[in-house]
Chains A and B, each alone.
Chain A
């Protein structure tokens, strides 16, 4: 479903402190109807607190939280019509699967017959028809997570919050359930916020990612923007693998590119940093945007960069190879799809080729 213009949640300049630490420090974002947004960040970045502020388990010190245009000040969790999928499912162990799914409906005073219909419908949605009378303790982790999802969606909440939805599952199951989760969320057209520290989860589930660090938002954008155009060094380092070069900007050259003189003295072609030069800068480039060529390669066209080096390790990851190359600029990783086996061996002399357009130029941390 395409995001519409209607705003489901508005979070404006929200501050939440716990004692001396500020868990959420002036966070502002909105989520539109039908949109899936991911709050991504390391543990302690404030994403879970943000989630708890939305659910009403915590109250903000400052700022505004509105759901569907209604202020949430003083509203208890049960007055918010928000669904929350807990990290460890939080299924009621003393109730059956059907009772768990029906719990929210009962408190909304649905008629009995309608509750039964809705429970059946929900269990069909998560492919657990026939499990009505099981107790959650008799089910696998993946099944429990689906029951929890059915319980959340049953009440048709205005907003669905997922707290690390797949982190309690093992890797293989996680991948399967991720696809299924996405399909289910899309099919019911819910507005969703996914809190996670796992970039794959964020990238695959979300229309938009909000990267948080130390209580603040570092960057918001589509998965593609976040990955290809990180706006801070933190975002670049947190999401995906990155090679870094550090140095000073030497100025623009005639071909429209800028030049960066690295700390080791190499001159690299980089895109326009957008801001006037001076100070220390970092350049990051994704490993899959670099190519390994023979040691005698020459720069073909303007905007190419060529770094000599020596292969120190070749790692077979199955679908891809990682070549670890040491050169004047330090250690660099290059990733290449596995099409016909490894092309290089440890000890080979090589050149690394990459385009200026693929580099992202960022002011150095603390500069």
Chain B
């Protein structure tokens, strides 16, 4: 085959692969959304003959799910608030100080991102039981802080490091004390990083299964745990309805992120584990 023929062959193959993979990525989402609105009471072939909100109603009439949802939201708000404060303080301190082993310390602070969450969860389970902490919400709270705090540290650190030092110096020479310069200049300019850190942390907390499943008790469980256990029990389409709502939450978070931070910036600050 000629070089040109091969070129066209490769181009075609590439486009084909792109088509296949985009279909693969989108089909499950489309199927789930469709089925969530399925009016039938059983799993039937697609497309559904009629649409309804019955699965959404069923989700909201199920106490088991609602308790999970309420725990999840409380947990996310509480743990993200704490890890945001801790993360912001840490990032500012790390940015201003210079000492031997600073890079190593940063790696340590980011290490929960590499340690498999199940291991973190299992270690916490043993440790907290040993300490005599049996209260479910408190245990989940500890677990969610440790899995979210690396995100807030990293995102804040990335944005603080991007602030030109001469801006702080300009504030100082214009008469601002160190404290004022921080609140007038550093903090507002780091806001994008703080916002994206908070959003990441919120998403991670809302989605976590591996750590929560270890720390959950019979009365205190998160929405993902509730969904997973009913998923294994029976195939109930109110889970599809819940999934659709979680998709909307994701979409909302992304839109907030895009509006306040800009998605390209977010990628720069590291969305990855």
Q: A residues bordering B, Cβ < 8 Å?
A: 55-57, 76-78, 80, 82-84, 86-88, 90-94, 103-104, 107-108, 151, 155
The answer to whether B176 has its CB under 8 Å from any CB of chain A is yes
| Bound Cα distance from A82 to B169, whole angstroms | 12
Specify which chain B residues have a CB less than 8 angstroms from the CB of A94 in the assembled complex. 188-189
Instruction: Please tell me the number of chain B residues within 8 Å of chain A, measured between CB atoms.
Output: 18
Specify which chain A residues have a CB less than 8 angstroms from the CB of B184 in the assembled complex. 92, 103
Specify which chain A residues have a CB less than 8 angstroms from the CB of B174 in the assembled complex. 78, 103-104, 107, 151, 155
For the complex of A and B, the 9 pairs showing the least CB-CB separation, nearest first, are: A107-B175, A104-B174, A90-B170, A77-B172, A90-B166, A84-B173, A77-B173, A78-B175, A86-B166
11 A-B pairs within 8 Å (CB atoms) are namely A56-B172, A56-B173, A57-B169, A57-B172, A77-B172, A78-B172, A78-B177, A84-B173, A86-B166, A91-B170, A103-B176
In the assembled complex, the CB of A330 is this many whole angstroms from the nearest CB of chain B, namely: 45
| Bound Cα distance from A84 to B171, whole angstroms | 10
Which of the residues A92, A107, A155 comes within 8 Å of B185, measured between beta carbons? A92
Which of the residues A80, A82, A84, A108 comes within 8 Å of B170, measured between beta carbons? A84
| Bound Cα distance from A293 to B20, whole angstroms | 83
Known pairs A93-B189, A94-B188; A107 contacts B176 (CB<8 A): yes
Specify which chain A residues have a CB less than 8 angstroms from the CB of B180 in the assembled complex. 107
Specify which chain B residues have a CB less than 8 angstroms from the CB of A56 in the assembled complex. 172-173
Nearest neighbor of A88 in chain B, beta-carbon distance? B166
Number of CB contacts from chain A to chain B under 8 A: 58
The answer to whether B164 has its CB under 8 Å from any CB of chain A is yes
In the assembled complex, the CB of A137 is this many whole angstroms from the nearest CB of chain B, namely: 12
Q: Which residues 121-142 in B have Cβ within 8 Å of A in the complex? A: none
| Bound Cα distance from A84 to B173, whole angstroms | 7
Pairwise interchain contact A82-B173, C-beta atoms closer than 8 A = yes
| Bound Cα distance from A82 to B175, whole angstroms | 9
| Bound Cα distance from A264 to B177, whole angstroms | 64
Specify which chain B residues have a CB less than 8 angstroms from the CB of A77 in the assembled complex. 169, 172-173
Which of the residues B169, B170, B175, B178 comes within 8 Å of A155, measured between beta carbons? B175
The answer to whether B105 has its CB under 8 Å from any CB of chain A is no
Specify which chain B residues have a CB less than 8 angstroms from the CB of A78 in the assembled complex. 172-177
| Bound Cα distance from A198 to B180, whole angstroms | 35
Nearest neighbor of B180 in chain A, beta-carbon distance? A107
Known pairs A94-B188, A94-B189, A107-B180; A76 contacts B166 (CB<8 A): no
The answer to whether B167 has its CB under 8 Å from any CB of chain A is yes
Known pairs A94-B188, A94-B189; A104 contacts B167 (CB<8 A): no
Nearest neighbor of B170 in chain A, beta-carbon distance? A90
| Bound Cα distance from A91 to B166, whole angstroms | 9
Extra contacts besides A76-B178, A86-B170 (17): CB < 8 Å? A55-B173, A77-B172, A78-B175, A78-B177, A80-B173, A82-B173, A83-B173, A88-B164, A90-B164, A90-B170, A92-B171, A92-B184, A94-B189, A103-B184, A107-B174, A107-B175, A107-B180
